Structure 1
Amino acid sequence: MSTLYSTRVTAIGGRSGTIRSDDGLLEMSLALPPALGGKGGATNPEQLFAAGYAACFENAVIHVTRNQAAKVRDNDITVVAEVGMAPNGSGGFALSVALDVAIAGIDQATAEAIVGQAHAVCPYSNAVKGNIDVAITVTTH
């Protein structure tokens, strides 16, 4: 399989450090959130994962409708991703994801079918399949 795109990000200092992409477009401080005993005040890996998954999933919805009668455009869809972290019972941690997908201009059954197709093609969905519980709700407006 040939790679369509790749990127590199360097993390220094763990959850209380910094991240920087090789092209310099992403450069941020990280902080442990207060819920995990930190002081907060900066982003964290779970927020970054939620942001990436939401944006990628939204684009997957748009992608699967390109050749369908019911096309979804950029302004027709909103995806809210919630990433949770909990102990896994083995001394480590596990993530969970909830995706709330709202699509305008189509009926509920069509929206659910499109979201199912998007879940099958989204790189994030494929990466976490079998590893992270992903709950998806679909609404139309």
Structure 2
Amino acid sequence: MKIFYKTRATATGGRSGRTELDDGTLALDLAVPGSGQIGANPEQLFALGYAACFDNALPFAAKQLELQYTSSKTSVEVGMGMSSSGGYVLDIDLYVEISGLSQEDAEKVVVATHQICPYSNATRGNIDVRIHTTTV
């Protein structure tokens, strides 16, 4: 595998601590959901990354299918729960809104995008991901 890009982040203090990119471009305080503390949590950060990555991969998939759309918007909901074996697991709903295509073509683009997006590839087979496609 050829690596195109690599970044590094460091966290201290776990969910109640701080995380930052080692290059200094972004740093965030962290807080446990429901704690009343101000800060983000890892699920929110995962949702941000997945949404941006998937939305960026959409034009590549559309081009492969020789389809053109006007605009897109991708939202990702990340939940955390417990598996039957007692371990923590993530649960994802991926909402993609595309304008300029029929519902059928939009779904084709989203399915193709789900095959090329690095986050989708990382989650496939170990995290439940439900895809919701709408057209405007």
How high is the TM-score relative to the length of structure 1? 0.91
Aligned pair count reads: 136
3-state SS, counterpart of residue 102 of structure 1:
strand
Residue equivalent to 2:12: 12
Q: Distance in 1 between matches of 2:60 and 2:5?
A: 17
Residue equivalent to 2:78: 83
Letter in 2 for 1:97: I
Letter in 1 for 2:6: S
Structure 1 residue 72 displacement after superposition: 3.7
User: Paired residue for 1:94, among 78, 89, 94?
Assistant: 89
Structure 1 residue 69 displacement after superposition: 3.9
1:83-113 Cα offsets, whole Å, 9 max, x none, are 0111112222111100110001111010000
> Does structure 2 conserve the Cα–Cα contact (< 8 Å) formed by 1:61 and 1:72?
no
Q: Distance in 1 between matches of 2:79 and 2:72?
A: 23
Distance 1:12 1:118, change over 3 A: same
Gaps of 5+ in 1: none
> Does structure 1 conserve the Cα–Cα contact (< 8 Å) formed by 2:65 and 2:109?
no
User: Paired residue for 2:133, among 113, 124, 138?
Assistant: 138
Residue equivalent to 1:59: 56
Q: Distance in 2 between matches of 1:46 and 1:40?
A: 16
Letter in 2 for 1:119: H
Structure 1 residue 40 displacement after superposition: 3.5
Residue equivalent to 2:27: 27
Structure 1 residue 67 displacement after superposition: 4.9
